[in-house]
């Protein structure tokens, strides 16, 4: 199974996704880490750059699925075309579940205004992605990152393992 954890910059998705990966023993890939590997000198956050990152992420996930039954992919995945590109690059029949992580704008802005290890995406990138945001219409779990991470993990585990009705 591939679990796509997505949301706006500063939503708390990476904080959550790394803990979920550890909790369920999944292999974890982050778009920011892959972007740094592919573009070590300068990152532009263009649509084409994102597509290149997502293609690489899908290739790594495909390989990882052979070794592990669970892979978590962490990124904004804010447009339909990039979500479809990623899902289309995975092996046919791969189950894919989406978990959206949200935060109030003030919280996200506080987070993106601080230096972070893997990304330099600040307020400008936040607002650009927010403006381009295309909501996921398919049923999926939505988590508020103001909740304690343990509560988020519990909700995610139930969603992934017990087939609860997803929240859209």
Model pTM above 0.85: yes
What's residue 140's pLDDT? 93
Kindly list the domain boundaries of the chain, sorted by start residue.
2-161
Structure tokens belonging to residue 4: 């796509």
Q: Which long-range contacts (CB under 8 A, 24 or more apart) does 159-166 make?
A: 159/97, 159/99, 160/1, 160/3, 160/24, 160/97, 165/139, 166/139, 166/140, 166/141
Q: Is domain 2-161 given the CATH code 3.40.50.2000 in the classification? A: no
pLDDT, one tens digit per residue, over 53-82 is 989 999 999 999 988 789 999 998 988 888
């Amino acid at each position: 199974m591939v679990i796509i954890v997505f949301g706006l910059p500063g939503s708390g998705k990476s904080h959550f996704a790394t803990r979920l990966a550890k909790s369920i023993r999944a292999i974890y890939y982050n778009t920011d880490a892959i972007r740094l590997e592919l573009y070590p000198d300068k990152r532009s956050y263009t649509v084409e750059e994102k597509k290149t990152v997502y293609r690489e992420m899908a290739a790594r996930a495909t390989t990882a699925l052979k070794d592990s039954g669970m892979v978590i992919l962490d990124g904004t995945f804010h447009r339909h075309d990039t979500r479809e590109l990623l899902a289309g690059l995975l092996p046919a029949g791969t189950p894919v579940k989406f978990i959206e992580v949200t935060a109030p704008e003030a919280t996200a802005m506080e987070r993106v205004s601080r230096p972070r290890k893997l990304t330099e995406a600040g307020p400008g990138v936040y607002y650009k992605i927010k403006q381009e945001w295309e909501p996921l219409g398919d049923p999926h779990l939505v988590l508020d990152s103001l909740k304690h991470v343990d509560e988020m993990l519990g909700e995610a585990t139930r969603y992934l393992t017990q087939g609860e009705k997803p929240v859209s």
